[in-house]
Amino acid sequence: MKEVQSVDVAQWGWGISRDIGRGEAVEAEMDAVISKRHEQRVKSEGERQLEEAWREGERRVEAPRRSARVAHVVEVWSRGGGIGS
């Protein structure tokens, strides 16, 4: 029969709490760097309007699609394949 060993729970979790504390410190440093970069960007570029940026992105993505649709319609109509053909 194997001998059962006991584990002191108070000492068992001690190292884990130190690792979590270091991780939280690193996370706080990262948050500070991100905030500082954001503030610098706002000073140099101004505040970005999220909706405006989204609309501009949509326009850029949609423009080639729209051109392709128009080209297709023109091609169909030029062949005489319009409505009721």
Measured between its terminal Cα atoms, the distance across the chain in Å is 91
- In this prediction, residue 18 carries a pLDDT of 63
Q: Give yes or no: residues 37 and 68 share one domain.
A: no
Helix (H, G, I), strand (E, B) or coil at 61: helix
pLDDT at 63: 95
Residues 40 and 57 in one domain: no
Task: Kindly state whether residues 34 and 57 are assigned to the same domain.
Answer: no
The answer on 53 and 32 residing in a single domain is no
Residues 72 and 40 placed together within one structural domain of the fold: no
* 17 & 34 share domain: yes
Same domain, 59 and 83: yes
Full residue range of the structural domain in which residue 42 is found = 1-47
Express each pLDDT in 7-44 by its tens digit.
555 566 565 656 677 888 899 999 999 999 988 888 88
- Domain count for the chain: 2
